[in-house]
Structure 1
């Protein structure tokens, strides 16, 4: 590690630095790495100069990556501050326009709700009070505080070390006011790192104290959960943690281990199966209640005798009737159950009941469909009615009737190719009985009257008037106060991951050789885990005792567990008297979804580093447990970088205006 004299000499060779940072509780990096990566217009804008931490391996790791800073293996409460003062004085002499920030990531364990009902350490909760000695001697331009949200609830504790609810936030408010008395303004934000392009959803408190007349700036989000793109906003979708995971390492089967998994871990695995394989509790219950004696899955008809009613309450009625509200707003909120109260009835008819079965009449004008629960219209001598159902088979040969009920046997499968390649774009001819024409084939005859239209998968849906679709190549109609336009585009159906569609603009799902599902197992609380297509849940310091896992469910018949036997086309899942309750549940789920094995492994150090924004070559020194602790304690690097860049950009702008 460099000496004070070496660091002072190195300061003379710097240029273009707007912000110098003293990093208390620096750990192995995180905040410091984000500061070092920060740049404005491609130029480095910030520099870490002093780092203090009580953990030797944390400081050695920090020094291996940022050797130009002055490092101390000290307790921030007792360190002698004269070397820090020497560096601050040299900076103010060499760079009078630069600002100095004192950063403190105060220990969060004894504020965090992750502590649960356990007693708090009163000494840990008072570390913020030791910042005043730094404020006195450093006189920083900025003080930045990072902590969990619950830091704002800092209050008194009872004799058992438990927070007193009526005093919630009292000591926090007193501490903030005491810092402000030094001549600082104060603002804070609760920021989620996923909103700034991180691979983890990590919500943290960021508070900034600034000397009078200095700006307090927080970065604007660049991402949001679902992504947003409109006239005024363009936010990318949250990054998927799958981009930084190693799917080639499948882990080992959860069955047949030397040390059996505990029931709590199995319960989390089962919750993840229900959420990420079945598609949620509701979808899982529909399938769970639809098993026949033959092992096939089908929902019984309401007109047929009920299946056996068990003591497990496994029967429910599924309906396809609902109310649709035809006015502005998000589409997902416009369909409600007919069992629920109706929405507001307006002067204009905006409500419709939707049924899956109806009668279609091929004569007359106006509304030519009728409910199957209503009287049938007049039946003429010519066949004018069809019973319309939402599901049918389409056959490309034989006779005039190319549609068949799914309740009847399939047509004969012939050696002749009777399947069509469906292109999303085609020519629609309004001439005689012409079918759609391939855009790659010659166009039909062009008549003097317009008879051809290009059907495109992208168009504007206009939710007013007669809801006529509009081309994306033409000017948009009048924009009203209520949103009335929707862009309709193609999307990708992925049959390997819950049959969930995704935009063609988004990265593809993981492509596997066989049908697989992946999800993350969160050891905290009773969490169902995390979707690999979303940011990772918050990583914690105690990952040595509660490590996050990657779970993989597969239908690959290779190397199946011993309780599964394949007899011809039949897969047999054996359940033993010695199986624990959660093992039975998992085996039943596997049988229901045709899963042949579930594998699981802990997330590895390189994966955890990438999740927290550290570069691949970032050096961590210590045992596996220590390295995981360093990662879990760190500020997410991208978040720290964005915070620093926003402040430096504003400082440069103000300096340019003043000049």
Structure 2
């Protein structure tokens, strides 16, 4: 350790962390990754945890720290005290940070109405022994939001509502005035609720963070870098929350939810059905619109577009590639909130399997020919690949628009179409829109600009090259952005969340919070396979029939099947879904969601590894907090590192 300290001094490290309840190393990893001006700013020197495999995992990735497999309430602190003294002898200006990710189970709302463990809730009181022994410059706490409601329990172990927060406020006061010789506090205090997705994480995990700093030292908080909605104006340049889909393996689709050796529970099916409504049908109102659009005479299901009477862009003469994915969670509560898009940050990752991935595969063609040749399995060889596919490159800057029968838009670099005796051609070019309330809205780019006010009012309108993705809602994207995922089949995906009353998330959002008990309420990845169908209703059958094809019957006996399964069959028939697959999220996916490096080593059983991931502090959040304080210490000249 002496050799290591000499090395750290030479590297300019001046901030040292003691990581209590270190687990497998979420906090430690974030601290070790923290940099300012391109240089490392902090080092974890002591790690303490009662779980031997958690400590083994931590040691495998952070071998330079002192590791103790001990209960923090009984650990002999002599070695820790000796190490801190040596650091302060070599570096008098070094700052010692005591970090404690206190056990949250008996504070968290995930505990529901069950009794609380009083001993677990008093672990914060044992920090005073460390504060007295180490005399840290900073004390940093991470816990669930409900930690602030820490109060008394009744004789049944239930929180007394009128006393909510009493013990928390007393504890904060005791820390602030610890060893105070007069009325002046020893530490100043600040706290915030931080959402990991706001700092570039793939999970929307919200946690309570508290900082105690000795008077004379600053308390800094990281600046938000991402937001739920994209913000990019004169006063903000926040990026959109990172989608969880970047962490998922879409090649691993899981197993069909039907015909399993052990049938899925009715609660699980309810969550899947809720995800179908939210992520496939686009919400309950849109689902009702589609459901009621079946022609009463023909029985065919030819729904109009959800927002418009007909599709804006046709898909003839090209291959259509459509994909939607979602996560599904296994926590108690209402099914409406169990599933979420993978375009969102993930929810909290717990120590138990709570998430599933649901997926499907097939290829659907959109060129003319016999209907029975439209769809084929991805297990078969691909059919002829034409020069047009499911994505069209739309190029239009200045152009001519023709307003007659079969007229088309033409480039100004091409000959004009026929000029008739009536005005039929329009010249479309770049212009400026002024967002004023009293006229003068449009301006020529060849004329002087209108008055520029203190608020942005000018918008440059032009039509540039862009990529048209013909999946579902025909949403285009800039050529400067990455291309959408190109697949060989039409798919919907989302994440199912089994916690509380959650429905899950779209894969284009961050993942919901992953918690420790993933064995009880695992997150699931849901994938849905689709093909063009019409629907014929029968009380005991839902019939899938591609036009002029041999019908495919799915037996849905309402006398023997559970009601929710019957609803799923009905939904599948109406939306042309031929299968739904589901699987739990894998450990590499969970590690990515929580910010761990790809090569991060975890030791123990699958259940233990998932527990460690769910218990971990999200890595990017810990990194951002460490960097914020280091940057402020440097700005004030208190530290010289990375200068």
**Where do 1:467-616 residues align within 5 Å?**
468-470=441-443, 477-480=450-453, 484-486=457-459, 494-496=469-471, 507-555=482-530, 568-569=548-549, 570-576=551-557, 577-616=559-598
Question: Could you list the runs of 5+ residues in structure 2 that have no partner in the other structure?
Answer: 179-185, 310-391, 418-424, 533-540
Corresponding residue for residue 426 of structure 1: 398
TM-score (norm 1): 0.74
The whole-number CA distance in structure 1 between the counterparts of 2:569 and 2:261 is 19
Cα 1:456–1:547 change in 2 (3 A) is farther
C-alpha distance in structure 1 between counterparts of 2:447 and 2:607, whole Å: 60
- Output the CA distance in 2 between the equivalents of 1:555 and 1:209: 55
Q: Is the 8 A contact 2:393 2:467 kept in 1?
A: no
Give 1:94's match in structure 2, choosing from 68, 72, 90: 90
Change (3 A) 1:656 1:164: closer
**Partner in structure 1 of residue 632 of structure 2:** 650
Show CA shifts across 1:105-125 (max 9, x none): 001111111111111111111
Distance 1:564 1:100, change over 3 A: farther
* Distance in structure 2 (CA, Å) of the matches to 1:85 and 1:55: 23
Distance 1:225 1:470, change over 3 A: farther
1:297 is aligned to: 301
Q: Is 111-120 or 83-92 further displaced after alignment?
A: 111-120
Who is 2:145 aligned against? 149
1:22 correspondence with 2:18 = yes
Q: Which residue of 2 aligns with 1:373?
A: none
Picking from 627, 632, 646, the partner of 2:609 is 627
Return the offset for 1:319.
12
Change (3 A) 1:622 1:611: same
Residue of 414, 420, 425 corresponding to 1:441: 414
Q: TM-score, normalised by structure 2?
A: 0.76
Partner of 2:421 in structure 1?
none
Please give the alpha-carbon distance, in whole angstroms, between the structure 1 residues aligned to 2:526 and 2:429: 40
1:75 matched to which residue of 2? 71
8 Å Cα contact 1:464-1:484 kept in structure 2: no
CA 1:204 to 1:503, structure 2 compared with 1: closer, same or farther past 3 Å? farther
Return 529-538 or 470-479, whichever deviates more: 470-479
* SS of residue in 2 equivalent to 1:596: strand
* Residue 172 of structure 2: aligned partner: 176
Which stretch shows the higher mean deviation, 22-31 or 87-96? 87-96
Match of 1:465 among 419, 434, 438: 438
The answer as to 2:428 corresponding to 1:455 is yes
Residue 538 of structure 1 aligns to a residue in which SS?
strand
Distance 1:425 1:515 in 2: 31
- Give the C-alpha shift of residue 187 in structure 1: 0.4
Classify 1:192/1:422 alpha carbon distance in 2 versus 1 (closer, same or farther; 3 Å): closer
Separation of aligned partners in 1, 2:62 and 2:435: 57
Task: Show the counterpart of 2:333.
Answer: none
User: How big is the shift at 1:462?
Assistant: 2.7
Q: Tell which has more relative contact order, 1 or 2 (C-alpha 8 A, sep 6+).
A: 2
User: Relative to structure 1, is the Cα distance of residues 642 and 443 closer, same or farther in structure 2, using a 3 angstrom cutoff?
Assistant: farther
1:502–1:158 Cα change, 3 Å? farther
C-alpha separation in 2, matches of 1:530 and 1:161? 34
Aligned 1:296-335 pairs, distance under 5 A: 296-297=300-301
Residues 160 and 467 (structure 1 numbering): CA distance in 2 closer, same or farther, change over 3 Å? farther
1:299, 1:616 → 2: CA distance? 44
- Based on CA coordinates, which of the two structures has the bigger radius of gyration? 1
1:281 matched residue in structure 2: 284
Counterpart secondary structure, 2:156? coil
Cα 1:468–1:110, aligned 2, differ >3 Å: closer, same or farther?
Answer: same
CA distance, structure 2, for counterparts of residue 435 and residue 602 of structure 1: 49
Q: Is the 8 A contact 1:461 1:488 kept in 2?
A: no
State the distance in 2 between where 1:503 and 1:149 align.
39
| Shift, 1:159, TM fit | 1.2
Aligned residue pairs total: 523
2:19 counterpart SS class: strand
Q: For residues 66 and 529 of structure 2, what CA distance do their matches in structure 1 show?
A: 51
Q: Name the one with the larger strand percent.
A: 2
Structure 2 CA distance, aligned partners of 1:435 and 1:247?
39
Which segment is superposed worse, 157-166 or 506-515?
506-515
Q: Could you give the per-residue CA deviations for residues 455-510 of structure 1, whole angstroms, max 9, x where no partner exists?
A: 35785453433363346798753344676455657776644356566666654443
Q: 1:456 to 1:626 in 2, by over 3 A?
A: farther
Q: Report 1:341-380 matches (<5 A).
A: none
Q: Residue 116 of structure 2: which of 108, 120, 137 is its match?
A: 120
Structure 1 pair 58/563, CA: closer, same or farther in 2 (3 Å)? farther
RMSD over equivalenced CA pairs, Å: 3.1
Match of 2:42 among 40, 46, 54: 46
CA distance in 2, matches of 1:467, 1:494: 35
Distance 2:475 2:220 in 1: 39
Deviations 1:130-182 (A, max 9, x none): 00000001000000000111111111111111111111111110100000003
Distance in 2, matches of 1:104 and 1:429, equals: 65
- Deviation, 1:435, is 8.9
Residue aligned with 1:655, SS = coil
SS at 1:220 equivalent:
coil
How much has 1:578 moved relative to structure 2? Answer: 2.1
CA–CA distance in structure 1, aligned partners of residues 127 and 47 of structure 2? 15
Rounded to whole Å, the distance in 2 between the matches of 1:507 and 1:51 is: 41
Structure 1 position 513, deviation (Å):
1.0
Distance 1:18 1:473 in 2: 58
* Greater shift in the superposed pair: 94-103 or 70-79: 94-103
